């Protein structure tokens, strides 16, 4: 079983989850929902295997290329979904999450590059800690954004007094809002820990706490954005629509910086680790 076999298998599982989830959206049923979440879980495990194999091949944490990073991120989003879908009754989102996971895994497969040499400076046990935390944070923010989109859609329907049959399986506004808060909090904690680990790593191996380059700058901006959002939630009572909109805006900034920095910027954090 090599990495590309595993990726193929996981793509198949995700596809199955998309189909079952789509049928479930059109006509909710216990069986289709169960099939959808089991397929997604299978795809998740298969992709985990692929990521592990790839990491073994590279000799380090396999997030070297942009595609690998995207795939890792979407894999984490699927993982978060699997972990909390039941609790927050988010199972209806299965089809969307499976689509996202499918797209990520597909990128990893298409961009299946050879072995890249990692610069000596980055060969460190700090790498998986630092990068893993950063990605966990990003995945949590992505999930918060997804939840917020659902919130806004349902909120608009309720405001307009026009209910929709598709709302049947959705969680209540209050539940979605709580899920948003949870994801933001966890994302923020992860992001903060990731920054701290980066600072520590930089201090220990380069003798500098902070180097100004595009990625670190953007990260600082994003950290402040989410800090402000969480602060507003806790003190002013931002919630509901406001929080949902800000969450989506915050994630858009994150997305733009993630793509922009990875594709166009130099620095230690650039994709090729050049």
Partner 1 sequence: MSAQPQSKVTRLRPDGGARPDLEFWVVGISHHTAPVSLRERMAFSAEGLAPAARRLVASSPGVVEAVVLSTCNRVEVFAMVRADADPVGPVVEFLGREHSVPPALLDQHRYAHRGRAAVRHLFRVASSLDSMMVGEPQILGQLKEQYRLATDDGIASARIRPCFERAFRVAKRVRSETGIASKAVSVSSAAVDLAQRIFDDLGDKTAMIIGAGKMSVLAARHLQGHGIASVIVTNRSFDRAVEMARGFGGTPVPFERYTQYLHLADVVLGSVATSGHILGVGQMADVMRARRRKPMFLIDLGVPRNFDPAINDLDNVYLYNIDDLSRVADEHRAEREREAIRAEEIVEEETERFWRGLSARDLTPTIVALRGRLDQIRRAELDRALSALQRLEPPERRALEAMTTAIVNKILHAPTAMLKALASESDAESAAEIAEMVHRLFALEPLEGEARGGPGVRDDGDDQGE
Q: What is the contact surface with partner 1 in residues (CB under 8 A)?
A: 28-30, 154, 158-159, 161, 163, 165, 167-168, 170-175, 178, 236-242
Taking the least distance from each CB to partner 1, the nearer of 140 and 176 is 176
- Distance, CA of 74 to CA of 257 (rounded, Å): 17
Alpha helices (runs of H) in 160-272, residue ranges in sequence order: 173-206, 214-231, 240-264
DSSP type of residue 207: S
Cα Rg of the chain, angstroms:
19
Taking the least distance from each CB to partner 1, the nearer of 99 and 178 is 178
Q: Least CB distance from residue 177 to partner 1, whole Å? A: 8
- Distance, CA of 256 to CA of 260 (rounded, Å): 6
Taking the least distance from each CB to partner 1, the nearer of 8 and 89 is 89
To 10 degrees, what angle do helices 94-110 and 3-26 make? 160
- Distance, CA of 266 to CA of 274 (rounded, Å): 8
Taking the least distance from each CB to partner 1, the nearer of 22 and 240 is 240
Q: Least CB distance from residue 55 to partner 1, whole Å? A: 40
- Distance, CA of 11 to CA of 102 (rounded, Å): 6
Taking the least distance from each CB to partner 1, the nearer of 113 and 237 is 237
Q: Least CB distance from residue 248 to partner 1, whole Å? A: 16
- Distance, CA of 153 to CA of 160 (rounded, Å): 11
Residue with structure tokens 């994003």? 222
Cα–Cα separations (whole angstroms), residue 233 to 145, 173, 185: 15, 16, 11
Q: Least CB distance from residue 168 to partner 1, whole Å? A: 6
Taking the least distance from each CB to partner 1, the nearer of 120 and 236 is 236
Q: Least CB distance from residue 145 to partner 1, whole Å? A: 20
Q: Least CB distance from residue 78 to partner 1, whole Å? A: 25
């Amino acid at each position: 079983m090599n990495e590309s076999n595993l990726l193929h298998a996981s793509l198949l599982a995700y596809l199955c989850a998309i189909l079952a989830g789509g049928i479930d959206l059109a006509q909710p049923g216990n069986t289709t929902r169960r099939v959808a979440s089991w397929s997604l879980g299978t795809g998740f495990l298969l992709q985990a295997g692929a990521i592990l194999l790839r990491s073994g091949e590279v000799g380090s944490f396999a997030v070297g290329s942009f595609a690998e990073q995207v795939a890792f991120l979407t894999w984490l989003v699927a993982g978060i979904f699997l972990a909390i879908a039941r609790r927050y009754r988010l199972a209806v989102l299965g089809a969307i999450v499976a689509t996202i996971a499918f797209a990520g895994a597909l990128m990893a497969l298409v961009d299946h590059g050879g072995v890249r040499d990692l610069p000596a400076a980055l060969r460190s046990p700090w790498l998986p800690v630092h990068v893993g935390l950063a990605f966990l944070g990003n995945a949590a923010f992505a999930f918060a954004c997804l939840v917020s989109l659902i919130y806004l859609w349902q909120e608009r329907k309720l405001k307009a007094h026009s209910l929709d049959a598709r709302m049947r399986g959705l969680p209540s506004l209050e539940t979605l809002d709580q899920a948003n808060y949870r994801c933001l909090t966890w994302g923020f904690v992860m992001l903060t820990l990731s920054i701290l680990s980066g600072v520590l790593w930089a201090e220990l191996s380069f003798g500098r706490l902070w180097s100004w380059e595009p990625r670190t700058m953007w990260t600082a901006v994003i950290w402040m954005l989410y800090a402000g959002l969480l602060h507003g939630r806790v003190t002013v009572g931002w919630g509901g629509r406001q929080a949902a909109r800000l969450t989506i805006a915050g994630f858009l900034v994150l997305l733009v910086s993630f793509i922009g920095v990875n594709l166009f910027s130099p620095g230690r954090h650039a994709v090729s680790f050049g």
